[in-house]
Amino acid sequence: MSEKQLSTDEAEVYDRQIRLWGIEAQEKLRAANVLLIGVRSLGSEIAKNILLSGINSLTILDDGVVSQDDVTRNFLLHEKVALGSKIAEQVLPRAQALNPLVKIVVDTGSVAAKSGDYFKEFTIVVATKLKFELILKIDGFCREHNVKFIYGEVAGFFGYSVSDFQDHEYFEDRIQLATGAKRGHEGDKKTKRIKGKLTYPPLNKVLVLPNTKQDIGSIKKMSRPNKLFVCMLMLLEFRKRFERDPDLENKSDEIEELRDIATEIIKLYQFTKVNVDNLLDLVFGEVSPVCAILGGIMSQEVIKAASHKEVTINNIFLFDPVTYSGKELTVGA
C-alpha cells in the first residue's frame, strides 16, 4: 500500500496515536511491511503492539509447534489449540482480530532456509530467540537490501534488544516558543522540525563472542564495562554452545556453566571489576511481564524506525533484572 491518505475508519481507530506522532508518521507506518521471526511470549507481545499501530502487513515466520507452555502463556493462543500444531498458524485468528486493517501472512517455513531475497520485501525485520549465527546472517541479508533489523529476547527477568537500522534518518517535531513569547502561551508555540541521522554498525561488530574470529577492535574500547552487556553476550554464547536456553530444572549446574561463560567473555573483553554473579539466578525461564516490557520497547523501535519519527535507540537496550530500569548502550560505533 502506498502512503496515501488515511481513510476515515483509520483516522478514527488511530486517533489517539496520530495525536502523538502525527499524520505523516502514521502514513509512513501504514506503508510498512514487517517480518516477525518467532511468535512465542515476546514475539506475541511485539505482534500485538505493531498490529495495533496500523502497519500495512505483518509476516509471521515461525516453524515451531505449540507446546503446553505456549498454551498457558501466549495470549494469541487459547486452551483449545492442539498441542503440536504449527504455532504461526494458530496465532493467526487472534492476531488478525487485533486489527482487521493489517494484512497478516503466516510462514511456517524455517528461517534458516531463507535466502537473502526473502528479506528484501520488508521494511523492517524483528526477531527473537535465534541462534547466534543466524542473527548475524539475517543482519547481513538485511544490510544487503537496506532492510532494518532489530533482535531481542527475554531470559527470566532480564531482557535486551539490539538494533541495526544502518543509515537511519529521522525527524522530530519540537515545540518551541516563538521569540519574545512568554511561557505558557499556547498561541505562540511553533513546532520546529528537526532532522537527524544515526549510523548503526553491523551486528557482527556489536555482538562479538569468543572463538568466532570476529573483529573485537571497536568493542574493546568500551569506556565503562557494563555487566548487563556481559549478561547478554553470556546468554548468546550459552545458546550457541548448547543449542538451548538455561534449564530451570537444573538450575545450580546451569549457573556454573553461565558463570564460566561470563568469565570467558570478561577475559576476552579485558573488562575489570565486572561481576555478574547476582544476575545468574535471574535469567531462567521467561517472565511474562518482562516480555510485555521488552515487547513495548522493541515495538516502539519498530514504529519509530518505520515511521522515521523520533530518535531511535542506538543500538542496544538493556533491562536490569534487579532494579527494573532500562537504558540504551551504544556499542561498536
Partner 1 sequence: MSTQSANPREPTSHVNSISKSKILVVGAGGIGCEILKNLCVSGFQDIEVIDLDTIDVSNLNRQFLFRKEHVGKSKAVVARESIISFNSNVNIKAYHDSIFNQEYGVNFFKRFDLVLNALDNRAARNHVNRMCLAADIPLIESGTAGYSGQVELIKKGMTQCYECQPKPQQKSYPGCTIRNTPSEPVHCIVWAKHLFNQLFGEEDPDQDVSPDTEDPEVKKDGAFSVTESGDVKRKSTRQWAQEVDYNPEQLFNKFFKDDINYLLSMENLWKTRKPPVPISWEKALTCESRISNDEESSKSLDMQVLSISKYTQIFASTVNILKKELAGKKFLMWDKDDTPAMDFVTACANIRAFIFSISQKSKFEIKSIAGNIIPAIATANALIAGAAVLYALRVLQNDYEKCPTIYLRQKSIYSKVLLATDKSLQKPNPNCYVCSAKPVVNVFVNVNKMLVKEFETEVLKNTLNMVAPDAILDGKGVVVISSEEGETEINNKKTLCEVGIVDGSILKVDDFLQNYELIINVNQYEAKEKDDPPFKFIANPAELKAKQIDGVKNGVTAAKNDLPNQEMHTDNDDVVICTTDNDDFGASSSKKRKLNPVEDDDDDLIILDEQLE
For partner 1, the binding residues (CB under 8 A) are: 5-6, 8, 11-17, 19-20, 23, 41, 45, 48-49, 52-54, 69, 72-75, 77-79, 97-100, 156-157, 184-188, 196, 248, 284-293, 295-297, 299-300, 303, 310-313, 317, 319, 323-329
**Closer by beta carbon to partner 1, 167 or else 213:** 167
Counting every residue written for the chain, the total comes to: 333
H helix intervals, 173-311: 217-220, 227-242, 251-269, 288-307
**Closer by beta carbon to partner 1, 162 or else 287:** 287
Interacting residues of 182 by C-beta distance below 8 A, sequence separation 6+: 188
Closest distance to partner 1 from the beta carbon of 273 (Å)? 21
**Closer by beta carbon to partner 1, 123 or else 315:** 315
Q: What is the CA radius of gyration of the chain?
A: 21
Closest distance to partner 1 from the beta carbon of 7 (Å)? 9
Question: Is the CB of residue 59 less than 8 Å from the CB of residue 34?
Answer: yes
Closest distance to partner 1 from the beta carbon of 185 (Å)? 6
Residue 300: what are its φ and ψ, rounded to 5°? -65, -35
C-alpha–C-alpha distance, residues 260 and 263, integer Å: 5
Closest distance to partner 1 from the beta carbon of 94 (Å)? 8
Q: Degrees (nearest 5) of the Cα angle 53, 29, 123?
A: 115
Closest distance to partner 1 from the beta carbon of 178 (Å)? 12
**Closer by beta carbon to partner 1, 108 or else 300:** 300
- Report residue 87 as a C-alpha cell: 504455532
- Amino acid letter at 114? K
**Closer by beta carbon to partner 1, 51 or else 138:** 51
